[in-house]
Every structure is written in C-alpha cells, then in structure tokens.
C-alpha cells in the first residue's frame, strides 16, 4: 500500500469504525423510532462506499469528475444506467456501432425511435411469460410452503393439504424440472460436443422423469395426470410453469390453458369435447380423436398436453427460423381457436362458479394482461433511457406514470369487453360480471390475486418513478459545495483534513437527497394514501358503468 493511500484509508477507516461502534452502543441502550436507525444505517453504508471509492486514484478521479459536472445525478445514473443497459441488452433492439459491436441506442435519441426500439418480439415474449407464470407461482408457493388453503379471485384454488403426498409430489416435480432446465444451461455452455448436443433434450427428459416420479409414487394414472383434489391443479401448474420457463411465448400461453383445464375437465364431458374440437380445428388431431375425447376426461387431459407440445414446438420452430410474424399469428390463432371452441361448445351452466372463475383468471386475463404489460415495459424502458441524458429524469418518471395510468384504465376496459363478448357469443354466460363487482365491494381482500394480475402493468412504472426520484439529487446539491468537496477529495492523498472533509462531504451529498426524498414521500403519502382507496372505487365504478353501458350486466 502506497503512503498517500494509507493516509486516506487509515484516517477515514478509524473515523468510520468509531462511528459504527457509537451507533451500535447507542442502539443498544437508547430507544428511538425505527426510521432513525434506518437513516443511521444508511449513512454508515454510504460512508463505507465513499471510503472505499477514495482509497484509489481511479475512484478519486471518478468522484471528482462527477462532482464537478453541471448536471449532477450520480446516484440516479449509477443505478438507472446499469439497470437500463442490462434490460435493454436482453429485450431491446440494439444499435450496431462502427467497430462491429452492438450497444443500446444513445439516450439522446428521440423518444419515438426509442419506443420502437424498446417494443420488440423478445420483450413481448418476456411480458407474456411473466404475466402467465407469476400469478400461478403466487398461488402455488403459499400452498407448497404452508399447506393452508389458498384463496384467489374469491374462490378456493388449492384446499388445505398435508405435506405427504400432495405437496411432496409437486415439490419433487419442481426439483426434477428445475434440474432439467439448469442442466440445459450448463450443457449449452460446456466445451464438450456431447453435452452441447444433448442440451436441448434435457428439459424433455426432465418432464418425462417428472411424470415417472408421479407414476411411481402415486401408483395410479388418474392421480398421476393430476385430477385429484389439491394436487390436481398443482400438477398441471408444474407442467405449465415448466413450459413457461423454457422461454417461449407459446409455452406460457398453452401452459395457461393446460392449468385451466385441470380445474374444468373433471366430470364435464362438454368441456372435454370443446377442447377436442379446438384441437381438431387447429389441425393437431384427427376428428376421430376429438369424438373420443368427448367421453373421457383423462383422454381430454392427454389431448390438452399434446396440444401444448404441438403448438409449443411449432412456434419454437418458427422462432428459430426467424419467422417471428408467423409465430405470433400461429400463437394468437391457437389461443383464439381454443377459447372460441370452449365458449361455443361448452355449456357453462353445468360448471361450478369457481371453475368458471379459474378459467377466466388463468386462461383469459393473463394473456390480455401480458399484451398491456409489454406496452408498459416498452414505455418504461424508453422513457427511463431518455432520462439518462438530463437531470429532469423525475419528469420522465411522471410522464411514465401518466401513461401507465392510461394503460391501466384501458386494461380494465379491455378485460370487461372481452368477458362480455364471451358471455354474449356463448351458449350461456361464462362469467358473472355483476357477481365479480359485488364481491370486490363486499370482500375486497379475497381478490388479492386479481389485484396482483392487474397491477403488474403499473409495476415497471412504479420502479421507474422510484429510481427517477433519485435524480432530485442534482436539484438542490449546488455546484459550489460540490466543487469544494471535489477539491478535498483531490487533496486527500496528502492531507488528513482534506481526507476527512472529502469523506464526510461525499457521504452527506449522497445521504441528504435520499433522506429528503424519503421524508417527502412519507409526507406526500399522508395526503395521497387516503385518496388511493377513493381512486380504486372510482376505477371500479367506471368499469361497472362500462359493463352496464354495453349490456354486460
């Protein structure tokens, strides 16, 4: 360690250690509100970062240059640029540079080209995958971990169950399926030709072993295919999530149908026939199979799974050939045909209300929600990138919030319109919207799962707004004190007072905006919080009014 670095490190390290000891001692013997301890711990954490950054010439140069810039938003840029670049490289359209490399478009690009570059097939793929997978996971995880009954959308999705055998079987399946997909990733990266050649087969082998695992433990085909009590839905959830996490839109979509059918098919030959017709129309099976499926729920389950496999592989084949438009046409057509067949050939009056609700919330809502989520993700990705070029990033965050609210309203209206259309063209109403609105008013807590599905559209907007708020750092940390701290940091290697001043100054420049932002947010919430419930009721009134206007209720 060179002598200049020792001056900086030793001086500031002793001060920091003393402050940590004092903080621990005060906390042990004094009482204070929780926010005081959080603010103190935050200061100490930021102080350690400042300490480490000032111990190297490169770190001091970086801090000095950042402090001397006119538009100082260091904390925001440190978080936002890394996050935006990371997401953009995975789902956005990249720009080819003169040296042959690719990079996200510059933040100085006009907003419309940024939006077009953000809204890609890969983004839509991920949005649909998340929209389908996370509601299912949100339902099954509490059941797997606790075993208590899980209530979603006003109905019992999973009844209470002991660990053995139902929950143990599902956990075993998840372990096998996870091992298959992890093995695929590891094999694809292996330098050995053999492992690369078998990488694509490992998920299929895992699915086969998952089936075999159930056959061996359960011992009966009926139990193995997943139509028995709580394990019924959980088994098909495992298959659906396995297909979803394979990374294709098709697997997410048809996996949702497979899960929905697990709750509907038992004891309802009409549903079996409806799905068989959808399969026949799609060209996946011959009409003779469709007739046979009408008489056996087990065969219908096999048909549903076969439909999953056929459509998934067909769509993945189109994706691998670069025919993304054809892939989306096939995907949308398969979903629409299956949905229309169920509505046109199913007699909903023969089904319990809870099964119809699960079908709507698992086979219809996630797909509509996924489309709106893709738009929301693209808007957030583009606006957050635009905010990197200016200290007015919070303004872009507010614009994102306004557009997200518009999308949220449009999402609710679209869901109401789709359900109303399905009720109108079917042999009988598929889902009672009036009962849904009444349940939301009488027992809003029972519909937490519905809120989880709907509010995913606003999730990226909320994250963007919270990160963009960090840019207010440049609004009140003025340039003159920043330049003074920059001078102390530059002189720190040869001056103890400068090292101490730079250490405290940089820490306070980071800490004060965060604390001010937290306090401002708390004060704002005291006024907005009570209004949030009123806004929710207005939103509910608007959707109910729309339903009455179009004659849905």
* pLDDT for the residue 276: 33
Which pLDDT score, from 0 to 100, does residue 86 have? 92
**What is the model's pTM?**
0.71
HEC states along 58-107? HHHHHHHHHHHCCCCCHHHHHHHHHHHHHHHHHHCCCEECCCCCEECCCC
Q: Which range among 17-21, 73-77, 339-343 has the greatest average pLDDT?
A: 17-21
Lowest mean pLDDT among 20-34, 237-251, 307-321, 365-379: 237-251
Q: How confident is the model at residue 375 (pLDDT cuts 50, 70, 90)?
A: very high
Contact assessment for residue 303 and residue 293, using Cβ atoms and an 8 Å cutoff = yes
Q: Are 282 and 308 in contact (CB under 8 A)?
A: no
In this prediction, what percent of the chain has a pLDDT beyond 90?
A: 11
Is the per-residue pLDDT at 228 higher than 80?
no
Give CA–CA dist 453/195, Å, rounded: 39
51, exposed or middle or buried, with CB in 10 Å at 0-12, 13-18, 19+?
buried
What percentage of residues in the chain have a pLDDT greater than 70? 72
Q: Are 124 and 248 in contact (CB under 8 A)?
A: no
Indicate if the pLDDT at residue 505 is higher than 70: yes
pLDDT for 211 equals 62
More confident residue, 270 or 552: 552
Q: Measure the N-to-C terminal CA separation of the chain; round to a whole number of Å.
A: 77
How confident is residue 322, by pLDDT bands cut at 50, 70 and 90? low
CB-based contact 407:376 (threshold 8 Å): yes
Residue 525's pLDDT is 79
The token duo for 141 is 């995880």
Q: What does the pLDDT average to over 513-531? A: 80
Residue 7 has pLDDT above 50, yes or no: yes
CA distance 476 to 515: 13
Condensed to tens digits (0 to 9), the pLDDT of residues 391-400 reads 788 889 889 9
**13 compared with 323, residue with greater pLDDT:** 13
User: What is the rounded CA–CA span in Å between residue 196 and residue 189?
Assistant: 7
Tell me the angle at which helices 121-146 and 365-386 cross, rounded to the nearest 10 degrees: 120
Mean of pLDDT over the chain: 73
CB-CB contact of 52 with 84 (8 Å): no
DSSP of 276-331 = HHHHHHTTSS-HHHHHHHTT-HHHHHHHHHHHHHHHHHHHHHHHHTT-HHHHHHHH
Average pLDDT score over residue span 259-288: 34
> Is residue 303 over pLDDT 80?
no
Query: In the predicted model, what is the mean pLDDT of residues 314-338?
Result: 71
The two beta strands, 102-103 and 95-96, are: antiparallel
| pLDDT band at 383; cut points 50, 70, 90 | very high
The set of residues, in sequence order, having a beta carbon less than 8 Å from that of 88 and lying 6+ positions away, is 94, 104, 118, 381, 385
The most confident of 27-31, 157-161, 541-545, by mean pLDDT: 541-545
Give whole-number Cα distances, 175 to 171, 246, 407, 526, in Å.
6, 15, 37, 45
Mean pLDDT value across residues 273-301? 36
Would you say residue 287 has pLDDT above 80?
no
Which pLDDT tens digit goes with each residue over 62-105?
888 878 776 667 778 878 888 999 999 988 999 888 888 898 99
Residues 486, 67: contact at Cβ < 8 Å? Answer: yes
The mean pLDDT of 398-425, rounded to a whole number, is 91
Which has more confidence, 272 or 76? 76
SS3 157: strand
With bands split at pLDDT 50, 70 and 90, how would you rate the model's confidence at 305?
low
Among 44-58, 158-172, 422-436, 527-541, which stretch is predicted with the lowest mean pLDDT?
158-172
Any idea which of 142-156, 397-411, 452-466 has the lowest mean pLDDT? 142-156
């Amino acid at each position: 360690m060179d002598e200049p670095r020792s001056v900086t490190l030793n001086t500031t390290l002793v001060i920091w250690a003393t402050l940590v000891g004092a903080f621990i001692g005060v906390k042990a013997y004094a009482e204070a509100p929780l926010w005081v301890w959080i603010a103190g711990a935050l200061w100490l954490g930021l102080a350690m970062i400042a300490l480490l950054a000032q111990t190297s010439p490169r770190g001091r140069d970086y801090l000095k240059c950042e402090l001397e810039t006119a538009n100082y938003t260091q904390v925001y840029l440190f978080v936002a640029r890394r996050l935006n670049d990371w997401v953009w490289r995975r789902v956005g359209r990249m720009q080819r540079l003169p040296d042959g490399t690719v990079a996200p478009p510059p933040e100085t690009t006009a907003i419309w080209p940024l939006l077009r570059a953000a809204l890609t097939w890969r983004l839509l793929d991920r949005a649909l995958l998340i929209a389908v997978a996370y509601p299912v996971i949100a339902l099954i995880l509490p059941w797997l971990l606790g075993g208590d009954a899980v209530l979603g959308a006003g109905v019992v999705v999973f009844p209470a169950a002991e660990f053995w055998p139902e929950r143990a079987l599902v956990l075993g399946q998840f372990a096998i399926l996870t091992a298959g997909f992890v093995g695929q990733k590891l094999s694809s990266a292996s330098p050995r030709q053999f492992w690369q050649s078998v990488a694509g087969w490992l998920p299929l082998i895992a699915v086969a072993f998952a089936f075999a695992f159930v056959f061996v433990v359960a011992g009966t085909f009926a139990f193995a295919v997943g139509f028995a009590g709580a394990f019924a839905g959980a088994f098909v959830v495992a298959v659906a999530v396995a297909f979803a996490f394979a990374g294709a839109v098709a697997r997410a979509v048809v996996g949702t149908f497979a899960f929905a059918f697990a709750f509907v098919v038992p004891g309802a030959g009409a549903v079996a026939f409806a799905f068989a017709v959808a399969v026949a129309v799609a060209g996946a099976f011959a009409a003779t199979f469709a007739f046979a499926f009408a008489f056996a729920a087990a065969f219908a389950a096999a048909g549903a799974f076969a439909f999953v496999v056929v459509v998934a592989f067909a769509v993945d084949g189109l994706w691998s050939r670069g025919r993304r438009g054809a892939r989306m046409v096939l995907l949308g057509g398969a979903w629409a045909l299956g949905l229309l067949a169920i509505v046109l050939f199913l007699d909903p009056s023969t089904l319990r209300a809870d099964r119809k609700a699960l079908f709507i919330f698992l086979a219809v809502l996630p797909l509509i929600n996924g489309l709106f989520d893709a738009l929301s993700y693209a808007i957030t990705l583009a606006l957050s990138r635009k905010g990197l070029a200016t200290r007015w990033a919070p303004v872009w965050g507010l614009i994102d919030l306004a557009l997200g609210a518009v999308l949220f309203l449009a999402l609710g209206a679209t869901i109401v319109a789709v359900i109303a259309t399905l009720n109108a063209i079917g042999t009988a109403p598929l889902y009672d919207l009036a009962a849904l609105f009444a349940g939301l008013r009488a027992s809003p807590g029972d519909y937490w799962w519905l809120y989880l599905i709907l509010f995913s559209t606003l999730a990226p907007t909320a994250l963007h707004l919270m990160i963009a708020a960090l840019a207010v750092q440049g609004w009140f940390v003025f340039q003159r004190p920043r330049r003074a701290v920059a001078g102390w940091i530059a002189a720190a290697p040869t001056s103890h007072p400068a090292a101490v001043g730079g250490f405290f100054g940089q820490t306070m420049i980071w800490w004060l905006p965060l604390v001010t932002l937290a306090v401002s947010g708390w004060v704002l919430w005291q006024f907005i919080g009570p209004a949030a419930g009123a806004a929710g009721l207005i939103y509910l009134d608007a959707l109910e009014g729309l339903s009455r206007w179009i004659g849905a209720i």
